[in-house]
Each structure stands twice: as C-alpha cells, then as structure tokens.
Amino acid sequence: MSFFRRKPKTTAAAPAAAAPAAVAVVESGSVVTGDYAVDASHSRLGFSARHAMVTTVRGDFTDFEGTAHVDAETPANSSVRLTIRTASINTASADRDGHLRSGDFFDTETHPEITFVSTDVERDGTDWTISGDLTIKGITRPVTIPFEENGTAVDPFGNTRVGFEGATTINRKDWDLTWNAALETGGVLVSEKIKLEFDVSAIKSA
C-alpha cells in the first residue's frame, strides 16, 4: 500500500513542484530480510474440498498466529512457525463446522492446535519453496508449499509489510482425518484431497 502527502501550497513567485511520496512500494530483495509476525487480520489460511463429487466447499481458520525469519540473501537461513486453533474452523455452515470440530474430524477438544514448523526454505527470485512439518491430531507429516512473494510496502502506520501467496494439496487421511460416507451413485461425500491456501501479510519487527 502507498499513500502521498498533500501537495504543498505555492505562491506566484515559487514554481509548483510535485509532492514527494510519503511512502511507496519498495523493490523486493534484501529489504525483505528480517523478522516478521503474521498479521492475522489481513491474512487468510483457507482450504477447499470436493463435496459429493460435484462441487467444492471452501473454508478457513480465523484464529492463528505465526512468525518468520526471512533471509533473502541466504534463504536456507529463513524459518517459519505457524499455530492454528482448530476450533476456529469456518465454512459458513454451523452444522458442518460442528461436525468438523468433532471426533470424526479435528477433535478440537483433544487436539486444539495445528502447527507447522519449517525445515527448509529455498528461493528463486520471487518464488519461495517452504518445506516443513505439519502436525494435525498429533500426527506429523512433511509438506512442501510453493509461495509467490508479492513484494513489500510501508503502510500508513509506518509498518513494513511483506506479502506471500501459496497453495498445496494434501491427503487428509495422512493425518487421521478419515471420516466419509459412500454415495448411492458411487464415490464418497468428502474428497480425500484437500487444497490448502495461504494469503499472508506479515509485519516486520522494528
């Protein structure tokens, strides 16, 4: 985001001049390097799954926090940690959300959190690849998520922000999310493959 100061008043004796930008989008590169906290109010951790073999149901988690150390020059020194509260699942259906919180799926009372801890980070220009351990219901499996860096900017409050978008597909059965129901016409009610979607805005530490 960028914004500009009002143009200063001029007199007849003084030539008018364009106002300098108060802030502007900055180029990606070493300026990205630093420590960050995920801004949950401007980020989305979403997912989608096929329902009854004919449509897609989308949802997200609304309660999460994360931190990252980004090293643009030596990406392998970068790291990411993310914690998601499973009870915050939201698919715009109270009945469906209640089922997802139950023992058939996330069992939120026993397993209140999903965690991700990176184990390797690679970079190719504005493309990043983050590999790490995803833990759901006490089961830890490796996942790899490609991200696109959307650049950095200084917001009106003086915060330096960086944005990333990424997605990957997992098999929910790998994390003991196995509930399903057979359809009379063949197939199952809920797909095993789940697409995870990440739209992240993170604020750089002072």
What confidence tier does 206 reach under pLDDT thresholds 50, 70, 90?
confident
Give the three-class secondary structure for 109: coil
11 lies in a domain?
Answer: no
State the pLDDT at residue 185.
87
Residues 6+ away with beta carbon under 8 Å from 150: 162, 163, 164, 165
Query: Structural domain of residue 157, as residue ranges?
Result: 32-204
pTM of the model: 0.83
Q: Is the pLDDT of residue 24 over 70?
A: no
State CA 64 to chain mean position distance.
Answer: 10
Number of structural domains (the chain) is 1
110 lies in a domain?
Answer: yes
Q: What is the mean pLDDT of the chain?
A: 89
5 lies in a domain?
Answer: no
13 lies in a domain?
Answer: no
> Measuring CA to CA, which residue among 44, 77, 27 is closest to residue 164?
44
CATH number at residue 173: 2.40.128.110
169 lies in a domain?
Answer: yes
Q: Is the pLDDT of residue 4 over 50?
A: no
37 lies in a domain?
Answer: yes
Report whether 198 contacts 164 (CB < 8 A): yes
Tokens 């979403």 belong to which residue? 46
Q: Is the model more confident about 152 or about 19?
A: 152
Q: Is the pLDDT of residue 115 over 50?
A: yes
Report whether 92 contacts 78 (CB < 8 A): no
Please state, for a pLDDT cut of 70, what percent of the chain lies above it: 85
18 lies in a domain?
Answer: no
> How many helices and strands (H and E) does the chain possess?
1, 11
154 lies in a domain?
Answer: yes
Q: Is the pLDDT of residue 125 over 80?
A: yes
State CA 186 to chain mean position distance.
Answer: 35
For 60-76, what is each residue's pLDDT tens digit?
999 999 999 999 999 99
Q: Is the pLDDT of residue 26 over 90?
A: no
